[in-house]
């Protein structure tokens, strides 16, 4: 028995934050409200004695429906103007995992990932086979127009124009990427993680990022931690970020925050991998490091306190 075990849920809405100087008070409030809505959805599951797996699924579904975030509705566009979404879930009880890559159609890509985990012998389905599977299992679908947002379309035009002019990256993270994710520890101390993304603006068609790859953008193992990452996916894949945080805990006996911070602030930063992650462990500790200007993020504690933040600032706290 560990009296330290408390249900906890942490989420992110991506490291691709709007630059501070371009952020208006209304927009900022809208991001905080979107994060709180997702925290409430996940917390309702935990409060009713539900599993960490159901809690992270519920939180990610809320963020997928919110066009402010780059996942589901509001996903970014590939270089040829299409949307290709990636998602994953992982259950820390037994390291079961499910993921999809390169799909557009299911309203909730995270449910497609769960269906892969729960209804197939596989871990990751991609492309046309994944899309066919999503129809076969009866997932709710939406037309492309439902996912499309003008702001993401304009971001694509800007990135393509910069490429055409041969301009260097101007550091506008919001134009490039984003992602949503959640990690949770339930009342039994079981862990789970879920991540969902449209990927990176103007990515090559067929490109798959870190989000749907267990061990990179998504990881959950009761013996160590649950991790959901956001940032420049190629770097996160090369550092096996989720697994690396877990390995530091398991083998180097590091505390959650020490391990997560070392991976994000030292390992990733050293190779130019901008981004961050949210992580929890089985004692209910939370870590949310990022090495870029901001990361939409939040956590809810067992008493229902909703903590949200965007830049390097103290969290706004609301209680239901
Ligand atoms: N990690 C995501 C990807 O590379 C993008 C992001 O989190 O911003 O697809």
Delimit the domains of the chain by residue range: 8-319
Give pLDDT, residue 117.
Answer: 98
Q: How far apart are CA 227 and CA 245, in angstroms?
A: 8
230 lines ligand 1 (CB under 6 A): yes
198 lines ligand 1 (CB under 6 A): no
> pTM value?
0.96
Say if CB 238 and CB 209 are below 8 A apart. Answer: no
- Residue of 307, 278, 308 lying closest to 290 (CA atoms): 278
Give pLDDT, residue 2.
Answer: 36
Alpha helices in the chain (DSSP H): 25-47, 52-65, 109-119, 127-136, 144-147, 150-165, 173-176, 233-238, 241-251, 256-261, 269-270
Q: pLDDT averaged over the chain?
A: 94
139 lines ligand 1 (CB under 6 A): no
Edge-to-edge, what's the strand order for the sheet holding 225-231? Answer: 218-221, 225-231, 275-280, 286-287
- Residue of 285, 288, 212, 297 lying closest to 38 (CA atoms): 297
Per-residue pLDDT of 62-101, as tens digits, reads: 999 999 999 999 999 999 999 999 999 999 999 999 999 9
Per-residue pLDDT of 95-149, as tens digits, reads: 999 999 999 999 999 999 999 999 999 999 999 999 999 999 999 999 999 999 9
203 lines ligand 1 (CB under 6 A): no
- Residue range 212-238: mean pLDDT, rounded: 98
179 lines ligand 1 (CB under 6 A): yes
Q: How far apart are CA 306 and CA 113, in angstroms?
A: 27
User: Counting atoms of ligand 1 from 1, which one is nearest the CA of 209?
Assistant: 9
Alpha helices in 70-188 (DSSP H): 109-119, 127-136, 144-147, 150-165, 173-176
Residue 180 CA to ligand 1 center (angstroms) comes to 9
Residue for token pair 């609301």? 318
Q: How far apart are CA 275 and CA 289, in angstroms?
A: 9
- pLDDT band at residue 166 under the 50/70/90 scheme: confident
Q: Which two tokens stand for residue 249?
A: 């805990």
Active-site annotation holds for 308? no
Residue with CA closest to ligand 1 atom 4: 233
Q: How far apart are CA 286 and CA 281, in angstroms?
A: 7
Residue with CA closest to ligand 1 atom 8: 178
User: Counting atoms of ligand 1 from 1, which one is nearest the CA of 176?
Assistant: 8
Residue 110 CA to ligand 1 center (angstroms) comes to 15
293 lines ligand 1 (CB under 6 A): no
User: What CATH class is the domain 8-319?
Assistant: alpha beta
- pLDDT band at residue 173 under the 50/70/90 scheme: confident
């Amino acid at each position: 028995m560990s009296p330290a075990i408390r249900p906890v849920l942490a989420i992110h809405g991506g490291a691709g934050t709007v630059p501070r100087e371009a952020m208006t008070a209304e927009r900022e409030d809208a991001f905080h409200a979107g994060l709180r809505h997702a925290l409430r959805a996940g917390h309702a599951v935990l409060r009713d004695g539900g599993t960490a797996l159901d809690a992270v699924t519920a939180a990610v579904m809320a963020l997928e429906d919110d066009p402010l975030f780059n996942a589901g509705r509001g996903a970014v566009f590939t270089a040829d103007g299409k949307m290709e979404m990636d998602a994953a879930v992982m259950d820390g009880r037994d390291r079961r995992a499910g993921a999809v890559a390169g799909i557009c159609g299911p309203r909730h890509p995270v449910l497609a990932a769960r269906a892969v985990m729960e209804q197939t012998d596989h871990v990751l389905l991609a492309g046309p086979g994944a899309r066919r599977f999503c129809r076969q299992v009866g997932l709710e679908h939406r037309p492309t127009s439902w996912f499309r947002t003008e702001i993401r379309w304009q971001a694509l035009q800007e990135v393509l124009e910069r490429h055409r002019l041969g301009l260097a990256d101007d550091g506008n993270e919001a134009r490039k990427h984003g992602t949503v994710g959640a990690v949770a520890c339930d009342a039994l101390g079981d862990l789970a993680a879920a991540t969902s993304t449209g990927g990176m603006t103007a990515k090559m068609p067929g490109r798959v990022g870190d989000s749907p790859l267990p061990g990179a953008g998504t990881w959950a193992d009761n013996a160590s931690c649950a991790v959901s990452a956001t940032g420049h996916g190629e770097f996160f894949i090369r550092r096996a970020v989720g697994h690396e945080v877990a390995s530091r805990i398991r083998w180097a006996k590091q505390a959650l925050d020490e391990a997560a911070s070392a991976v994000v602030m030292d390992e990733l930063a050293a190779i130019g991998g901008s981004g961050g992650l949210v992580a929890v462990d089985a004692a209910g500790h939370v870590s949310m490091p990022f090495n870029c200007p901001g990361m939409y993020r939040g956590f809810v504690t067992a008493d229902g306190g909703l903590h949200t933040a965007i830049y390097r600032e103290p969290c706004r706290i609301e209680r239901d």
